[in-house]
Amino acid sequence: MTIIPKVLVTKIGLDGHDRGSRIVTAALRDAGMEVIYTPPWQEIASVVKLVLEEDVDVIGISSLATDHLIVPKLIEALAAAGLAHKPVIVGGIVPDSDARELEAAGVARVFHPGSAMQDIVTYIRAAAERSRAAAYSE
């Protein structure tokens, strides 16, 4: 079954650098995905609300300046809203030790600077398919 993945690309926390999130959004759209893109500085509660209302398959968080440190809070908030099956992907400047902590906290994958766009697209497509299957099996 081929699906059209629906992806949320957003930024939480304080930083506003959005070159990465804009470029990834363009690449996902070029690959035929539906992308919901938001300005930076989203509150965690509003991200959860967006995920619920828009029923996205994958949540992509872009972080350049340490905002990845509050991603575990987002994961908890998603779980509390019954959205634990929605994969959260982080892209940006994340030190290795922090990436391991994020993965332990439930982040599906961390993409670092220099990642090939094709790798990101392929990963997100597969993650979306798994996410959609998990949603149907509920």
**Cβ–Cβ < 8 Å for 80, 45:** no
> Between 26 and 135, whose beta carbon lies closer to another protein?
26
**Bridge partner residues of 40 (DSSP):** none
Least Å from the CB of residue 39 to another protein: 4
Find where tokens 């994961």 sit. Answer: 75
Find where tokens 């299957």 sit. Answer: 133
Q: Please report, as ranges, the residues that interact with another protein according to CB under 8 A.
A: 13-19, 22-23, 25-27, 35, 37, 39-41, 65-67, 69-70, 73, 93, 95-98, 112-114, 116-118
Q: Could you tell me whether strands 6-10 and 34-37 are parallel, antiparallel, or unpaired per DSSP bridges?
A: parallel
Tokens coding 7: 């992806």
> Between 71 and 83, whose beta carbon lies closer to another protein?
71
Q: Which amino acid is residue 111, in one-letter code?
A: F
DSSP single-letter state for residue 42: B
Least Å from the CB of residue 106 to another protein: 16
> Between 40 and 87, whose beta carbon lies closer to another protein?
40
Least Å from the CB of residue 96 to another protein: 5
How far apart are the C-alpha atoms of 65 and 93, rounded to whole Å?
Answer: 7
> Between 54 and 133, whose beta carbon lies closer to another protein?
54
Least Å from the CB of residue 59 to another protein: 17
